[in-house]
């Protein structure tokens, strides 16, 4: 059970208030009808399984109900960064 800092509520909350929401930065293809079955399957089914620091989505389901992004180590579980959805994560 860990703590997550919600970037909207600007507070640390217990993990039980949140739900994981998959890998971050999966963008829906702009024109699905123009891409191959393989490319569509890649978007629908394939996700990276990275050992190390990994960007994922979480939602504050029992709080503000907003989606945000978390950079977390899949080895140590340490949360390195938290960012509002759409924020610039490069810094």
Distance from C-alpha of 15 to C-alpha of 13, rounded to nearest angstrom: 6
Distance from C-alpha of 46 to C-alpha of 23, rounded to nearest angstrom: 10
Q: Which residue, 2 or 80, is less far from another protein as judged by CB?
A: 2
Distance from C-alpha of 61 to C-alpha of 65, rounded to nearest angstrom: 5
Distance from C-alpha of 61 to C-alpha of 40, rounded to nearest angstrom: 29
Q: Which residue, 10 or 48, is less far from another protein as judged by CB?
A: 10
Counting contacts by CB under 8 A, is residue 88 touching another protein?
no
Residues binding another protein (CB under 8 A) = 1-3, 8-11, 13-14, 16-17, 19, 21, 27-28, 31-33, 35, 37, 40-41, 43-44, 57, 59, 61-67, 76-78, 85-86
């Amino acid at each position: 059970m860990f703590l997550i800092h919600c970037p909207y509520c600007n507070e640390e909350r217990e993990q039980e208030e949140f739900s994981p929401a998959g890998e971050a930065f999966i963008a829906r293809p702009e024109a699905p009808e123009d891409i191959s079955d393989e490319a569509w399957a890649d978007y629908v089914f394939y996700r990276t399984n990275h050992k190390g620091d990994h960007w994922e989505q979480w939602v504050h389901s029992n709080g503000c109900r907003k989606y945000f992004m978390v950079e977390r180590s899949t080895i140590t579980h340490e949360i390195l960064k938290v960012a509002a959805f759409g924020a610039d994560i490069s810094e």
